Structure 1
Amino acid sequence: MKITGYRCLRTFRDWGRPVGDVNGFTDPGISAVPIVVLETDQGIEGIGMGSHHDIDRLFPAIEGEDPRAVTALYDRMLARVFKAGHSGATFGGIGTLDAALWDLKAKLAGEPLWRLLGARDRFVSGYASGLDIALDDDQLATWYRTMGERGFTSGKLKGGRDLDADIRRLGIVADALSGNGVTPAVMLDANESWNLKQAVRYVTAIEEHRDLTWIEEPLRRWDAAGHARLSTAIRAAVATGENLTGLEQFTPLFDRGAVDIVQVGCVWGVTHFLRVAYAAHARDLPISPVGLTANPAVAHAAVAVPNHLSSEVQDLGSPFGVSVDQQFIDGGVVLGDQPGSGITIDEDAIAVNQRSDSWAVSEAPQVRSHRAGLRLVADAPAGTVDR
């Protein structure tokens, strides 16, 4: 069997609510969903979701190869961009092709990916994450109550600019998830918006009112020294890593003891997740993938590693024209038996129903505020310009 070609598709996800974080939000909540379909000489195709970036430059590394050699082909893609480097958006293209390769490998074996990877249980424990910075208190309560009805007992709030509001809203999340007979776990995601001492003061103030399970991305992603100091200064665990593009970027965090919850962005693919998970396991650290909506294949990998803690569940639906063989029940994801990663696409429907997204405009969460970490007052007064 040989890989012969690929097709790039683009659909969209309608979140049904404004979505974002401390850096900004989009309203209406529409985001683009790039899809790559790998073609073979036997007509079997592999599907990956995530990014189209540098696909044309990466594809020669796997063209004509047997798709079952997934991990070797992953390293060939890394080698293909050796001089320019694989960091950043290029790593998204590698991850998407990698997910398509794993989908192909499992389809050829006639098994769901979770089974191929050696998992015994198909249940992926999860936590609710509403991308909720723009939701008012009533909308926040409604969304997390819906997740609580699906059995979720933990939730993550987006925040970091208004201490009093975050304390209040963490309480709303906890109350909304409290109907399952346990005390909910609550987390806060600051999306790299603080410097070290801001983080210490902010989290310490929250902890005077509420137990915080973890603080996520409090500092810049590469600040190993700062994360290590923060972890010793607060009770909450420090969670970070989702934006690191390559196993080697985790090494400084591991060496400094700077991360308590090791996170991996699902968009970076299955092989990356597996390698980081085992590196974390060697250090007795738990792994938590971020954004299963971006790449459902990583859910299959999550149940196959020994140190999976919980996966981020941001939505109960699927992108337009995409169906995924999974269910959201009992506070997590129940994976199906469909061979591969369980993704089916309706290309005809996608072709005639295109929606533009506003994810990368200046007000959206993909664009960092230029004053992040440089504010004496965390939250600017209403009506002022964020300078």
Structure 2
Amino acid sequence: MRITGFRTLTTVLDWGRPVGDANGVLADGRTPVPIVLVDTDEEITGVGLGPHLDGEDPRGVTALYDRMLRRTFKAGHAGAVFGTIGAFDTALWDIKAKAAGEPLWRLLGGRDRRVPAYASGLDIALDDEELVAVYQAYADRGLRAAKLKGGLDVDQDRRRLALVRDVLTDAGRVARPALMLDANETWTRKQAVRHVCELERTIDLTWVEEPVRRWDADGLAAVSRGIRASVASGENLTGLEQFRPLLAAGALDVVQTAAVWGVTHFLRVAALAHAHDLPVSPVGNTPAGLLHAATAVPNHLAGELQDLEPPVGVRLAHHVEDGAFILGDTPGAGVDVDEHAIRTAHVGHPAHNGDGPHIRPPAAGHRLFAAPYDDTISTHPR
């Protein structure tokens, strides 16, 4: 088998509501989803949600992954470069599993197709009624763990966390659902400790995610020492060299990786975390490849479940039931792309005005007073 070429598409995930975090909000709730399709001479196409691959046998996935890293080392394998490599890597794993006639979780050595999940609504722009409705939909699928966006106002965060806690408690008759708060790097070290300690007076937090900048090993460690909750981070780190100083400093309690960085990256980060007796958790709105990989590592904690519907033109072989992703038996990663549906839907990049969670606001880390969902954050006047 040989790689003969690749194609790229962009579809869109339409949440049907505003989505965002402490950095900003996309009012139209439409997020672009790039797709890589890798073709082979045996008419097996791999889907990745790379240069220098033509003529290679796609089944040599990890060797090709390292080859792509070597080819880009001068420019630095981070950001969009690392994301492109990750997309190709996921597509190659998809091909390898399809060629073997097995679902990827089985090929990777997984035994149980059930992957525990937590709800994650990108919900900072929602009012209380909308927030309850969104997490009720997750609760109806059996989820009893939830991660909220916050970090701007401690009173707002306390109320919203309590609302979601009550939804999950009522739905599952559990006394203590798992609650997490994602600040998306918006605090300083002292702000993080003050904010979380205030919340912990009445809210039992499982983890706080990205409380300070992703590379601040000393800061993350200081936050972890100053609060009861665990500190989670890593979704924006690329390459093991970026994780090493954080693990050496005891900065992370939960190690995360993003779906966009690929399956091989997840497996390597999971092994590194396991060597430090730490759990690993995949992050992303369609983390299919990492869910398969999660079945094959001993330290997986829970996977992020964002929107309950897939992007336009994408069909997934897994479903959500009883608080978990249930992976299918379809050969490959279980992601099917309808190119015709995407093209006829005239899907393009959503029109954004320059604001959104992907842009760091100038006030991040420099707020003296609470900023409760002002015009730059919320679509709901208060």
TM-score range (shorter-chain normalised) is over 0.9
Aligned to 1:149: 140
Residue deviations 1:162-194 (CA, integer Å, cap 9, x gap):
110100000011111112122211110000000
5 Å-filtered alignment, 1:64-103, equals 64-103=55-94
Name 1:41's counterpart in structure 2.
Answer: 41
343-352 or 105-114, which moves further after superposition? 343-352
Question: Which residue in 1 is equivalent to 2:320?
Answer: 328
Q: Deviations over 1:83-127 (max 9, x none)?
A: 111011111000000000000000000000000000000001010
Number of the residue aligned with 1:169: 160
Q: What's the TM-score once normalised by structure 1's chain length?
A: 0.94
Letter in 1 for 2:301: L
Q: Summarize the Cα distance change of 1:359–1:130 in structure 2 as closer, same or farther, 3 Å threshold.
A: farther
Within 2, Cα distance between the matches of 1:77 and 1:204? 44
- What percent identity do the matched residue pairs reach? 57
- Conservation of the 8 A alpha-carbon contact between 2:10 and 2:347: no
Is 1:194–2:151 an aligned residue pair?
no
What TM-score do you get using the length of structure 2 for normalisation? 0.96
Question: For structure 1, which segment, 377-386 or 305-314, has the greater mean C-alpha deviation from structure 2 after superposition?
Answer: 377-386
**8 Å Cα contact 1:128-1:144 kept in structure 2:** yes
Q: Which 4+ stretches in 1 moved above 6 angstroms?
A: 383-386
Say if 1:71 and 1:383 are closer, same or farther in 2 by CA, change over 3 A.
closer
Aligned AA for 1:133? I
8 Å CA contact retained: 2:263, 2:289: yes
Query: 1:359 Cα deviation (Å)?
Result: 7.6
**Secondary structure of 2:9's aligned partner:** strand
Q: Can you list the C-alpha shifts for 1:224-255, whole angstroms capped at 9, x where unaligned?
A: 00111111111000000000011110000110
- SS of 1:213's partner is strand
Match of 1:251 in 2: 244
Distance in 1 separating the partners of 2:376 and 2:143? 38
For structure 2, the residue ranges without an aligned partner over 5 or more in a row are: none
Instruction: In structure 1, give the amino acid aligned to 2:106.
Output: R
Report deviation, 1:328: 0.6
Greater mean alpha carbon deviation, residues 173-182 or residues 298-307: 173-182
Q: Secondary structure at the match of 1:264?
A: strand
Q: Please give the alpha-carbon distance, in whole angstroms, between the structure 2 residues aligned to 1:124 and 1:115.
A: 13
Cα distance in structure 1, aligned partners of 2:32 and 2:78:
21
CA RMSD of aligned residues (A): 1.6
Separation in structure 2 between the aligned mates of residue 186 and residue 264 of structure 1, nearest angstrom? 19
**Equivalent residue number for residue 338 of structure 1:** 330
CA distance in 1, matches of 2:224, 2:13: 36
The residue identity in structure 2 corresponding to 1:202 is: H
Distance in 1 between residues matched to 2:203 and 2:214, nearest whole Å: 25
- Equivalent of residue 310 in structure 1, options 302, 305, 328: 302
Structure 1 residues 273, 358: CA separation in 2 closer, same or farther (over 3 Å shift)? Answer: same
Give 2:362's aligned residue: 370
Structure 1: runs of 5+ lacking an equivalent: 50-57
Residues 286 and 310 of structure 2 are in contact (CA less than 8 Å); yes or no, is this contact kept in structure 1?
no
Q: How does 1:1-387 map to 2 (within 5 A)?
A: 1-49=1-49, 58-60=50-52, 62-178=53-169, 179-182=171-174, 183-291=176-284, 293-358=285-350, 361-379=353-371
The CA deviation string for residues 187-234 of structure 1, in whole angstroms up to 9 with x for no partner, is 100000001000010001000111111100000000000111111111
For 2:352 and 2:89, the matched residues in 1 are separated by 25
What CA distance in whole angstroms lies between the structure 1 residues aligned with 2:351 and 2:258?
A: 17
SS in 2 for 1:76: helix
Q: How far off its partner does 1:355 sit?
A: 3.4
CA gap 1:274/1:380 in 2 versus in 1, 3 angstroms? same
**Is residue 240–residue 262 contact of structure 1 (8 Å, CA) maintained in 2?**
yes
Query: In 1, distance between residues paired with 2:368 and 2:18?
Result: 28
**Aligned partners of 2:90 and 2:377: how far apart in 1?**
42
1:53 corresponds to? none
Q: Deviations over 1:33-54 (max 9, x none)?
A: 11111011111111111xxxxx
Deviations 1:275-305, CA, capped at 9 Å, x for gaps: 00010001100001111x2331111001110
